[in-house]
Amino acid sequence: MSAFFVPRLRPDPRAFLRPVRLVRGEYARAYSGLPRRAWILFAVNLVNASGAMVFFFLSLYLTREMGLTAAKAGQALSLYGFGSLAGAFAGGWLSDRMGSIRVQKMSLAVTGVLLIALGQVRSVAGILPLLFGMALFAGMLYPANATSMAMVCPPDLQVKGFALNRLANNLGATIGPAVGGMLAVRSYGLLFWADGLTSLAAAAVFALLWKGARDAKNGRDAAGGAGAGAGSGAAAGAKPTGRAEPAGSEQRDAALGEAGGIGRPESGEEEATRAGEMTGPARAVASKRAPMGRSPWRDAPFLLMQVIFFFWSMVFIQVLSTFPIYMRNVYGLAENRIGQLYPVNTILIVLLEMILMEKIRKYPRTRMINVSFLLLGLGLGLMPLGRGFWFGALTVAIWTFGEMLSMPLVTALVSQRADDSNRGRYMGMNSFSFSLAFIAGPAAGLAIYDGLGPDAVWFVCAATCVVITIAFSALRPALAKR
């Protein structure tokens, strides 16, 4: 009897590490290249979003703690919506005049104080003006923050910068409501204190980190200038990593309000005072500031794009307003199962959005926005065609990819049409479109739900997405011309 020797094959440990290295490489590429200030904006957004609790429980607070009827509470929430609308305009307008950094610090600090005050008031007459004021100052944050992100990131990295902000907001949205729910069970007063204090903490973190980044940059500029002399301007702005500062960084600092400027010429005594406090490069930039750019109200392609984005937002808002009711009444899912569908959206955004933005950089933004419209319509239009938790999760995954492709790309497209002198107003208009849809969308969706039936909502959403895809395709040539 013959025997055969079969050698024992040992698994190569490197084979198991290859997929890990591949994934790690994808994430490294997705997050690489972003300037330090973009990460500061991310950190501030994360702190602020993690403490955003009051809004999620505001209707319960007004009805259960304050004794308002559902109708009165709805009117109060509408007042909040109008405050957000006003804040979107004000935040953009002030960013072009005060500097977007100052607007963000003011927004966070004042919102924190008003949140704490709102929790101490026990009369409707006191709550309503505080609620409007809180919404007004909170609404200023987004256009100012988007303006800052656009200015600190080079043009080819702006989409990734806006996606980074969305990552912070989505991570915070998973923390804030969970912590807020635990606090609300004990005391609604704790809810207002926690939300207000985290807003103030975000303002403090912003001030400290931004000052540190500015001081470090000034130190590098000074060191580079001393070592290289007047003949090597590129080296003067070099970072320790060997990468040069993006071109135009001094101009962006001036528009952000960091060089003592506000992005437009100043008059007389104030300009002389600021110029005396500036270093040479900053003073040169300030002296050459361009006048305020064109108003977004005179940019016809931009206004048409905002109409399209308004209808997109009307559709998207349904996933926050009509979706839970539909899942409860039509799919028969209990509240806890409905609550488990939303993390599908959050997890996909956190894990994949930055990688997705890196992968699509070579494609035209407007083409990808068109794809996003179709994916949103497909995900929502499929909902009446199936039942059950897993089919619902599939539809959420589909429209989430539509959301990931649209939100940062639309914001980048808006930024592309502006310059440093009017970017705040453009971002404010963009924020205004979404805020207006936030007011009108739930009412429109639920009216269709009651009048035409639950399934009709999603068929109308799918049809709307097809229409705006066609409209945006027709608008693309005009958007290509600035």
What CATH code is carried by the domain that includes residue 479? 1.20.1250.20
Residue 238 β-bridge partners: 244
Residue 422 lies in a domain: yes
If asked whether residues 248 and 348 sit together in one domain, one would say no
Residue 417 lies in a domain: yes
d(CA 52, CA 307): 29
Provide φ and ψ at 238, rounded to 5°.
-70, 145
d(CA 321, CA 255): 38
If asked whether residues 253 and 300 sit together in one domain, one would say no
Question: Which residues make Cβ contacts (< 8 Å) with residue 310, sequence separation at least 6?
Answer: 433, 434, 436, 437
Question: Which residues make Cβ contacts (< 8 Å) with residue 450, sequence separation at least 6?
Answer: none
Asked if 361 and 157 touch (Cβ cutoff 8 Å), the reply is no
Cα 184 to the chain's mean position, in Å? 26
Residue 284 lies in a domain: no
d(CA 261, CA 253): 8
pLDDT on residue 66: 84
If asked whether residues 65 and 154 sit together in one domain, one would say yes
If asked whether residues 73 and 210 sit together in one domain, one would say yes
d(CA 326, CA 328): 5
d(CA 40, CA 30): 17
Half-sphere exposure of 436 (CA within 13 A, CB side): 14
If asked whether residues 334 and 254 sit together in one domain, one would say no
d(CA 109, CA 121): 19
Asked if 54 and 197 touch (Cβ cutoff 8 Å), the reply is no
d(CA 83, CA 268): 35
Residue with tokens 């005009």: 478
Residue 188 lies in a domain: yes
pTM: 0.70
Longest dimension (CA), the chain: 107
pLDDT on residue 24: 67
d(CA 83, CA 94): 16
pLDDT on residue 214: 59
The Cβ of residue 303 has, within 10 Å, a number of other Cβ atoms equal to: 12
If asked whether residues 38 and 135 sit together in one domain, one would say yes
Residue 235 lies in a domain: no
d(CA 92, CA 347): 31
If asked whether residues 92 and 180 sit together in one domain, one would say yes
Residue with tokens 């966070």: 108
d(CA 64, CA 77): 15
pLDDT on residue 2: 52
If asked whether residues 250 and 310 sit together in one domain, one would say no
If asked whether residues 180 and 318 sit together in one domain, one would say no
Residue with tokens 């606090």: 183
Number of domains in the chain: 2
Residue 288 lies in a domain: no
Asked if 119 and 58 touch (Cβ cutoff 8 Å), the reply is no
pLDDT on residue 444: 86
If asked whether residues 137 and 56 sit together in one domain, one would say yes
Residue 227 lies in a domain: no
> Which residue range forms the structural domain that includes residue 105?
34-222+244-258
* Ranges of the chain with pLDDT below 70: 1-26, 70, 212-293, 482
If asked whether residues 354 and 248 sit together in one domain, one would say no
Residue 149 lies in a domain: yes
Asked if 33 and 160 touch (Cβ cutoff 8 Å), the reply is yes
If asked whether residues 93 and 173 sit together in one domain, one would say yes
pLDDT on residue 21: 63
Instruction: Identify which of 289, 347, 427, 408 has the alpha carbon closest to the alpha carbon of residue 34.
Output: 408
